[in-house]
Amino acid sequence: MARVSALWRHPVKGHGREALRRVTLSRGQAMPWDRRWAVAHELARLTEGEWAPCTNFSIGAKAPALMAIDAQVDEAAGRVTLTHPDRPDLTFDPDRDAQAFLDWVAPLMPSSRARSVRLFRLDGRGLTDTDYPSVSLLNLASNADLAAQMGAEVSPLRWRCNIHVDGMEPWAEFDLVDRTLRIGEAELRVREPIRRCMATTANPGTGARDLDTLGALNSTRGAQDFGIYTEVTRSGTLAVGDRIEVL
């Protein structure tokens, strides 16, 4: 029986993950506080209040050290705390203390990349990697199978997914495209596989690139797909341990 093993959100896109025990999803929206902000670089072309693709933002594919950031949100205060093995802890309000954040993250950014210049906010649908508000799902059995084929430990945090699932057969998630999943009180429609990028080659504990995850996916699966995108079609609360039903 497939169940939710873990829940994760990423309040600042590409800059940290936070574990949750329970979350309430809303129809047509991303996970609350997931990718509410993104870090725009100096070449970004953005329109306030509108979604933009990740080419406009500083992310782990361009700066692997970012993959080692952890986050914690104080929703009542509107503040985010970031931690990294090579930086002091930072607690800040992304809407008011952007410069403090930019100063904190600057040493983690390669000098060859466009400079990070501001935090860009998009409520509700979030700055997901998709042009629709998505919630991503990772099958832990697929992660274990890939790790076995690579002969290496592969942390599931490399994939930056929102919902980790235990109890499925390896790679069975790709058979769920166009199906609806009931998880707790919520329902999610599976839209498509997730095409992976260089961010997954970085170790989420150290921020160093240490595994050729893309090469492994191409050689074992014939594509760089890993995990699936879903869209919330029925609002509701779900929690770690909830059963997953395919409708």
pLDDT tens-digit series, residues 20-69:
999 999 999 999 999 999 999 999 999 999 999 999 999 999 999 999 99
Q: Closest Cα to residue 92, out of 16, 175, 169? A: 16
Give ∠ CA 205-29-58 in degrees, rounded to 5: 40
Architecture in CATH of 3-8+20-29+130-246: Beta Barrel (2.40)
Tens of pLDDT, residues 150-206: 999 999 999 999 999 999 999 999 999 999 999 999 999 999 999 999 999 999 999
Q: Which residues pair with 186 in a beta bridge?
A: 183
Q: Closest Cα to residue 10, out of 169, 134, 194? A: 134
Tens of pLDDT, residues 118-131: 999 999 899 999 99
29 touches 188 (CB < 8 A): no
Pairing outcome for strands 186-195 and 225-234: antiparallel
Q: What is the mean pLDDT of residues 206-227?
A: 96
Q: Closest Cα to residue 157, out of 221, 61, 68, 39? A: 68
pLDDT at residue 79, as a whole number: 98
Q: Closest Cα to residue 160, out of 73, 35, 246? A: 35
Tens of pLDDT, residues 79-124: 999 999 999 999 999 999 999 999 999 999 999 999 999 999 999 8
Residue 145's Cβ-side half-sphere holds a number of Cα atoms within 13 Å equal to 15
pLDDT at residue 82, as a whole number: 98
The two most distant CA atoms of the chain are separated, in Å, by 49
Give ∠ CA 25-29-156 in degrees, rounded to 5: 70
166 touches 3 (CB < 8 A): yes
pLDDT at residue 124, as a whole number: 85
Domain ranges of the chain: 3-8+20-29+130-246, 37-121
d(CA 212, CA 143): 14
Q: What is the 3-state secondary structure (H, E, C) of the chain?
A: CCEEEEEEECCECCCCEEEECEEEECCCCCCCCCCCEEEEECCCCCCCCCCCCHHHECCCCCCHHHHHCEEEEECCCCEEEEEECCEEEEEECCCCCHHHHHHHHHHHCCCCCCCEEEEEECCCCCCCCCCCCCEEEEEHHHHHHHHHHHCCCCCHHHHCCCEEEECCCCCHHHHHCCCEEEECCEEEEEEEEEECCHHHHECCCCCCECCCHHHHHHHHHCCCEEEEEEEEEECEEEECCCEEEEC
